[in-house]
Every structure is written in structure tokens, then in C-alpha cells.
Structure 1
Amino acid sequence: MKQSRIIALLAAAAVLLTGGYLAVRYRNTEKEKKQEQQEAPVSLLSFDGNATTALTVKNEEGTFRFLFQDQTWVLDGNDFTANPYAISAICSYMCDLSSVKTIARDVTDLSPYGLTDPVVLTADTSSGDSYQLLVGNPTPTKESYYAMLPGTSTVYTIDYTSGSVFRATKNTLKNRYLFDANSTEVQEFTLERDGVLVYSLTHDAAMQWTITQPIQWQGYTSNINDMLDTFVRATATAYVDENPGDLSRYGLDQPSYRIYARTDTKAVTVLLGRMVSDAEDEISIYGMIEERGQVFYMTKAALNFLDDDLLSVAYPYVYNPDATSVKQLVVDCNEVQATLELDADSKTYVCNGKVVSDMGDEVMDAFQGFYRSVATMGLSQVEPDAKPEGEAVISFTYTLQNGEVTRIELIPASDTTYWIMKNGTYTQFMTRKRILNMTGGIISSYEALQNKIKDAEK
């Protein structure tokens, strides 16, 4: 074969091979291009979420329309109280939504994606525009959700978090907080247990809590604030009955607990009935917000104050004025007979005529310890119906710098307790006799002071 013929054949073969290579490369390029198009994020919705004035959620449980009014979300209707946080989350994720992947175009059968009966979200804005999104099922791998825009035939996936927010249930759309308020806004709080009032509290203009029922007493602010923080954070686990006909099914006809709370703008009454089951390890209790009329259940431990008594919210000391305001304290307590004189301005302190402020730090520490043992005499129990009889056997008389006199007296109630009187009136509290003899109590702290004074005088 001539050389020229061989060269021609080789050239033809090269052309054929090159053409085949180019054809394969073209097909691969088109496939890659199509894959890139599928994987490229597509902006599905983009609008100003802060301008949203209404949001409609249509799911298998119904159609719910929410309106943004007075800086919060409310349900258009009286079926339930809206969860403003869930509605805000839907708007936040919806207003700037892109796809994760384009799954299929020109889709005629939407059933594999759960889009034949999707969740339909409609956001209306103040500009008059309306935006819609259809949300289907999660993908088999639970990495994302199927979604599409109405009037189109293209199915996308969106991130799993967004899809979970969009497919909110009716329970999620309901406000599950027992009282959606800040604890600092609460002005009144009442707890009843088994039909009996435990306490009723009010917050005055001086930012102080006062027990108004069943006794009049200063509230213990730190404990009350902790309790209110717990209360406003408590939520229903789930709603179980929107129109309860027979409250006895839940123990709500005669509730175990009744809580009333009020701010300047709203109030709530929470009823708690029986435990969800009779199991010993049951943790959930049925409840109902009286103003909403819907039964829910919640974790009882979320309200850890339910079984506390009045002492948990009462100022724990019989009388404890600021020491800088006290001019004199006279103690008449069995073998302890002491008159303390205090002058915070000149830092002069006297015990039974002896100027202890000149005797050194150890004596002053003992003086302060004795004063505290009297001023922090604690309460042990509440007996509002008691009628104290007999003579007082112990007394503490405070005279303040402004001349005000307060006399605390203890009358024996039993072998172990005293009734506490304040200026001749029964306080409705009692204290235990052991406070006199306990370590750091009135008797032992007075002995410690006397010993320090003797040592200083040597």
C-alpha cells in the first residue's frame, strides 16, 4: 500500500475518533450542565418580612389566618390564642427562601412529594403584595423538604429547618405559654390548693411585694421573683381538648390548683386538675387556662412552687430593720438581759453600758453576731386561726433613730413553739423554741459576746 494511502486512512481514523470523543464530551458536558442547574439554588421568595401584615396557614387541620396587630400576631378569630413566636418564625424563613436543589420540572404527578395536598402558606404585605408557598413531605433522607410555587410544575427541595417551621401543626400555632408576659410586669399573684387559698400577693408602687391574704405580711422579694420567673416560662406540652364538655374527665371541675396572675394589661387564671395517668412515675398534669377554655397537659415539675406553703413567699424574719436605723435594742430573753445602743454615724456601739466599739474587732464581731441572732429570728409555721393566750415570756424592743418603737413578744404555744406578737397584735406566725439554744442562736451568741468582753477587759 502506498504511503500516501496509509496516511489518508490514518487521517480518516483520527477524524472519526476525534468526532466520537467530541460527541461523548458534548454529552457529558450537557449532563454536567443539567446537574449544575439542578443543584444551583433558586430564589423562591424574597420580600420584606417586617412588612408582613397577615399570614395564612392552610394544613390538614384547617385554615388559620393571623394578623399583625399592636406589635404582635393574633388569630383572626377566637378559636385560640396565637403563638406569636411560631408565626414570626414562619415569616422570617419565608421572606428570604431559596431552594437547595431543583428536583424535577414539568411534574404532573405530585403525590411522591406530598404536594397533592400541601401546606399552603400565604403572606400578605403592607404594599398589597401576596406571596405563596406550597410545602410537601420531607425527603426520604430527612435532609430537606419538597416545595414548589403555586401555578408552576417545578419541584424543589428546601432546607429541613425551614420546612419544619413551615409545616407547623395547630398545636404549634397555639400560644403554649401559660402567661405570655415578663415576670417584672406581674402586679398580682394568687395560689389556691384544693380549694383553699395559700396566698395572695400584690406589688405596690414602691416595688415591694406584700402578702394580702390570708395574712398581711411583707413578701420575700427574691423568692417571689424566682417563682414568677418560673411561672412565665412554663408552657403547655400539648392541647388535648378544645371544647371540653365534662371537666371532671381531667379533674378540672374541682381543680387541685388554681393560679391567678395579673399585669396592668392582662390577666390569666390557670386551673390544674389530675395527673394524666395513675402511674407512680407520671409527670404530666391536665390543665386549662380558664379564659381560653382549652384543656392541655404539661409537666407538673415545670411549676415547682405548687406545693410550697405561705412561708416560701413571706419575709422570713419577724422584724429585721436596717441596723443603721436602729438606736436601741432591748432583749429580755430568760437569762439574756441586754440593752444594745447603736450609733452608726459615730460608729459607737454599747452593750449594757459598756462601749464595745472601743474593745477591738473580735468584740465588735461578737456584738454584730448577737444583734443578727435577734434580728434574724425566723418563722417556722403559719397559724392564722390561732388565738394566743397567756403572758409573753420573751420580748425584743426596737427603738429607731426616728423614735419609732416596735415590740416583738413571744407567747408559749406548745412545748416547742411560740406565738409571735408584734406591738400587741398576733402576727399569725409561730417560731420554734430551739432558736434560743441552737448554735449561733440568741443564748449562745450572747454568751460569746460576754466572753469576748471579759477577755478584752483583762
Structure 2
Amino acid sequence: MFKRSTWILLGLAVAALLGYFLFDNFQQLRQQQQAERARLFHFAPDTIARIEIRQQQEGEPEEILLERTPEAEEGSRWRIIRPIQSAALDFPVEQLLNSFSRLTPQITLEGAEDLAAFGLDKPRHQIALFPQEGDPYRLDIGNDNFDGSGFYARPEGGEVVLLASTQKGSLLPSLLALRDKTLLRFDTAAVKSLQVQLAEAEPEVVRLERQENTWQIVEPRELPADDLNVDRLLNTLSRLQAVEFPAETKAELAPYGLEKPSAQLTVKLKDGKTLTVVLGAEKEGQVYVITSEHPAVATLLTSTADILRSDFEELRDHRIARLNPNQVGPVTLESQGERVTLNPLPQEKGSLDLRWENPEQPGQPVNLSSLFSSLNAARAKEFLPETDPDAQKALAEPDLKLTFEAKGEDGRDPLRLSLTSAGLRAYVQSSYQPDIAVIDLSTFNSVETEVNRLLEGKAEETRDQRGGSSSGS
């Protein structure tokens, strides 16, 4: 058992720790109260209903008026009322309110009467916050101090104070910083069709339609589209953001190259709504733009405009095959006079592996995943018309002929591929593509190696049959 003195010492230790904890909390509370009392203004940011900012911009007076929107409305909680009508970005507005509510003087110049010495006789910047009830909170902002570490300010009816320069930027956001720069917003899943018209492209117009979960080019001719590039274009359009607004109306389009646009995009949604984006001239790394959903002339970064100006070659699918093993039925492989048809086997319960089998060699399942991977990874470096003489000559007797039939009663036509190499080039002709694809020779070699591996069993069987016939004779 503990001695009595031990219990006493333990009690004193606990009391000391408790006392230190209470004293520390008291000190922190006291410091918070002192900091609160030292602040210029005392209000909660969410009680402010209106903000007025008056400032000189390049010698011209500018007044910005913002109002809080009703909570029932969706989108931004603030709206710019003057000098333009626009939704405001919540972040810079909330940053202004938070900074304003926490303004704490570094120095208070009590009794300072010469306001001109601090740039406060005719202040360049004035901010007024109007609460839902009660008088507004007003602040005049004057000159910076001698070393730029602070700036002079004066609350209405108060003393001149010196505030830290780090607080000035968030107190005086520009109109551009405050305004919502969204030019277009929509749900990409709701898009039914997309048209891209480029002034200096051939073909000039490319029209695409959504077909189930993929995109198909329907103009100038029917071709599979590159889903990744189409999605990238639509994702860019669906959250299109301006850099600047050189004009608030579309009254004068010629100065921005928008009367004869370099590109025009048309998006049709499933609900029947049509959205348009028009691109004009380029200047200093930006491109002028107007949209059907915004009243102003804006600019985009050239890198953003380049995505929107995707042409036919960028939008067409450069893959030579889109094979989903789960949807592939019988597969026929032909090479160097050998031919084999592999039929899909029922998938074993609890297994994700897919197997095919040569009906002439039962009990010897084969895995086609490497062949599928090689074909799905293959990309056309360029496309040639089917009338190209060199390609026609090379494909007259192809090195490989592959046929992939759909599983079950899918209803789709089989995918037929003819592949051949000629010198340093390799050609692919697909039943899904009218043009002839040129692929890397290394890609062709990978496919050929895999096909020949799968045909080895068939070749050995043929040799065995020939050997047996010779012995019998």
C-alpha cells in the first residue's frame, strides 16, 4: 500500500497540473479577448448584406457594389450590381469580409489632424459594409508608410491607424478578381451531339453524335471517334473560364475577329437546348471568344482555345481495334497459310479468366489477353485512302488476317483486320474503318509474334497429320 506521504505528493502533483492547465486556458482566453478588443470592427461576416468599394483605377474612379443573394438561390452567394451585372466569386468576397472583420492596428495615431499627410483627406480607396441591421462599417484607406510594410487607414469617426500591408490585397479586390468568369456550364453526360467548324481546316465541319457509351463521327463521314479527345473537348467546354473581358457587350465583334470566326462549336443537349462558342482572333497568348450563355466578349488562354479547335484528325479514333474480351465470341486467325478458329469457353465459376479453345484440340484452352492488349494498344500514325497504290499492293496478300465475332446474339458485324508489312511500314485495313491505317512496324511485329504463337499448335497438328499419311502410304 502507498504511504500517506505518497498520496499527498500525488495529490499535489495533480493539483499543480490542473492549476497549470487552468492558468494556460485563462491566459489564452485573456489574449483572445485583448485581440478582440483591439480590432477596429466587431461583426460577424455572415451578417453583411451589401458591400461598396470605391477606388481609383488608372486615374478613373471605380465603384463596385455587391449584394448577398437570397439563400434560396443556387450558385454564388454574392452578385455584382455595379458597374456590371454578374455573379460574383464567393472566395474573394468572403476573404474581404474576413480580413475586414479582423483588422487590428499596428499603431494608433491618436489626435492626428493632418489627414493629407496620410493620404486620408481624399482617400483613394473607401470600403463600406452594410449589415442586415444597423449602421454600416466604413473604412478609408490612404498612403503606404515609408517602407511599405503598412498602410494608413481610418474608420469612420475614428483615429488614423497603421495596418499591415499583407491585409491590403484582400481588402481591395479588382472587378476582374470578383466577377465569376464562367462562360459556359453544362453536364457533359447530357450532350447529344457536338459540331466543330474550323475556318482553315479540311474538312471544315466535323459533327459527332453520342451512341450509347461512345462517340461516332457522322460528318463528313461515319467513323469511330476518339472518346478521350472528345471527352477532353467537352470537359473544357462544360466549365469554360474567361481570362479577361475586353468588352461587356457583343455590339462590336469585328475588332476581335468574331465576325469571321476562326472556329465555332455547337453543343446540342438531350433536352433540346443548343449552346454555341465562337472563337475569334488571337492576341498576346489569348483568343477572343463569345458564347451563347454570356453577354460579354471574353478571352481564353491559347492553350484552352487549342483544345476547342480540335480538327478531324484529332477527333477520329486512331485505334485499330476496340476489343472487349467479355464481348468477343469466336476468333479466327490466319497467317502463312495456317488458319484456326478459337471458340470461347464458358467462364469458370469464381474465375475472372477468359479462355478460348480450338475445337480440334479439346482440353487445351488458350488465353488471348496478350493479343487483345497488343491490338487495343495499336495506334495509327496516319490514315491513307483505300485507293493508295502502295497500301493496296501490300494488302493484296496480307501477312495476317484476324476475325473477331461478337459473343451471343449481339447483332454487331464481325471485326475483320488485315495486317501486312512492306519495307519499313506496316498497314492495317479494318472492316470498321474505310481508311487504311499505318502503324509502327514494332507494333505489327508484336501482333504477328502473338498470332504465330497461337497458331503453333495448329501447325504441329498439321505436320503430325502429314507424317501419318506418309507412313500409311
Q: TM-score, normalised by structure 1?
A: 0.67
Distance 2:270 2:68 in 1: 22
CA contact (8 A) 2:55 2:124 kept: yes
Gaps of 5+ in 2: 1-34, 349-353, 465-473
Match of 1:120 among 102, 112, 126: 126
The alpha carbon displacement at 1:300 in A equals 0.5
Q: Does 1:324 align with 2:332?
A: no
Q: Does 1:131 align with 2:137?
A: yes
Match of 1:46 among 19, 42, 45: 42
Which residue of structure 1 lines up, in the alignment, with residue 163 of structure 2?
A: 158
Structure 1 residues 67 and 357: CA distance shift in structure 2, 3 A: farther
Give deviations 1:250-299, integer Å, cap 9, x for gaps.
Answer: 212112233456889998644332221xxxxx533333445434334443
Which residue of structure 1 lines up, in the alignment, with residue 152 of structure 2?
A: 146
Distance 1:165 1:268 in 2: 35
The alpha carbon displacement at 1:164 in A equals 1.0
Q: Does 1:197 align with 2:199?
A: no
Which residue of structure 2 lines up, in the alignment, with residue 250 of structure 1?
A: 256
Match of 2:81 among 76, 79, 88: 76
Amino acid at match of 1:64: I
Distance 2:143 2:64 in 1: 20
Q: Does 1:273 align with 2:276?
A: no
Give deviations 1:337-392, integer Å, cap 9, x for gaps.
Answer: 4422122514542247335845xxxxx46x433344456665666899x9xxx9x9
CA contact (8 A) 1:255 1:274 kept: yes
Amino acid at match of 2:155: L
CA contact (8 A) 1:220 1:316 kept: yes
Distance 1:267 1:114 in 2: 53
The alpha carbon displacement at 1:432 in A equals 1.4
Structure 1 residues 355 and 112: CA distance shift in structure 2, 3 A: farther
Structure 1 residues 135 and 209: CA distance shift in structure 2, 3 A: farther
The alpha carbon displacement at 1:408 in A equals 3.2
Structure 1 residues 192 and 107: CA distance shift in structure 2, 3 A: farther
The alpha carbon displacement at 1:186 in A equals 7.3
Distance 1:341 1:291 in 2: 54
The alpha carbon displacement at 1:116 in A equals 1.2
Amino acid at match of 1:197: V
Structure 1 residues 200 and 114: CA distance shift in structure 2, 3 A: farther
Structure 1 residues 178 and 450: CA distance shift in structure 2, 3 A: same
Distance 2:429 2:311 in 1: 18
Amino acid at match of 1:446: V
Distance 1:374 1:230 in 2: 30
Q: TM-score, normalised by structure 2?
A: 0.65
The alpha carbon displacement at 1:334 in A equals 8.1
1:269-308 alignment, distance < 5 Å: 269-276=276-283, 282-289=284-291, 291-308=293-310
Give deviations 1:153-192, integer Å, cap 9, x for gaps.
Answer: 5222333343112222222233334446787887876543
Gaps of 5+ in 1: 1-38, 277-281, 359-363
Q: Does 1:102 align with 2:108?
A: yes
Which residue of structure 2 lines up, in the alignment, with residue 398 of structure 1?
A: 405
The alpha carbon displacement at 1:449 in A equals 2.5
Distance 1:420 1:166 in 2: 63
* Secondary structure at the counterpart of residue 241 of structure 1: coil
Structure 1 residues 357 and 410: CA distance shift in structure 2, 3 A: closer
CA contact (8 A) 1:329 1:399 kept: no
CA contact (8 A) 1:190 1:199 kept: yes
The alpha carbon displacement at 1:398 in A equals 0.8
Distance 1:184 1:144 in 2: 51
CA contact (8 A) 1:378 1:431 kept: no
CA contact (8 A) 2:120 2:140 kept: no
* Secondary structure at the counterpart of residue 435 of structure 2: strand
* Secondary structure at the counterpart of residue 347 of structure 2: coil
Give deviations 1:422-441, integer Å, cap 9, x for gaps.
Answer: 4xxxx5x5341557984345
